Amino acid sequence: MTAQHTLKHRVNMLSLFERFVKGLSERIRYTAMSVADVLRVLAAMPEFSAFVPLQETVKHLSADGEFRVAWRSAVEKQCRAWALSEEETKLFLDFADVLGTTDILGEVQHCEYYSRRVRECLEERKQEARARGGLYMALGLCGSSAAALLLL
């Protein structure tokens, strides 16, 4: 996978994570379901079928609904596969540390806080993708021009 594709993939995964956090927050706020139950509902939605950490977490949820160990394991494995930065990986891992330990208002505030953090990180990556996208195109153009000159 090229560097440009890797960066675009990271942007897509951060965008999916942001939607996941928002969906989690809304369902906790309006349904008062447990975090584990909300995770199961979100995992069943087509929108999150490609969000591997969620799918793996739900698959390995324990009977008591403890999801932190399953989340950490899934995220660590997937973040390496996605080539996420250390900052992005930490964002994914830290998200579950407090989740499920407070009342509904605390859960919603936690989700809103992480939604803002993910959005900030996502905007940085989008800017990086735009800046690097031009660079990669220029490098490709220069490389193909050089190859054409060599053939002449």
The tens-digit pLDDT sequence of the chain (152 residues) is 566 677 777 888 889 999 999 999 999 999 988 888 999 999 999 999 989 889 989 988 866 667 888 888 888 888 777 778 888 889 999 998 888 888 889 999 999 999 999 999 889 888 887 777 665 555 565 666 666 666 66
Gap between the Cα atoms of 55 and 70, Å rounded = 10
What is the tally of structural domains in the chain? Answer: 1
Measured between alpha carbons, how far is 14 from 41 in angstroms, rounded to an integer? 20
Are residues 17 and 92 in contact, defined by beta-carbon separation less than 8 angstroms? Answer: yes
**Rounded distance between C-alpha atoms, residue 99 and residue 42, angstroms:** 15
The span from the CA of 89 to the CA of 78, in Å, is 9
Give residues with Cβ within 8 angstroms of 10, minimum separation 6: 82, 83, 84, 85, 88, 125
Per the structure, the complete domain to which residue 48 belongs is given by 3-151
Residues in CB range of 16: below 8 A, 6 or more apart: 48, 50, 51
pLDDT at 68: 85
CA distance 33 to 6: 36
> Among all chains, which residue has been given the structure tokens 């330990």?
101
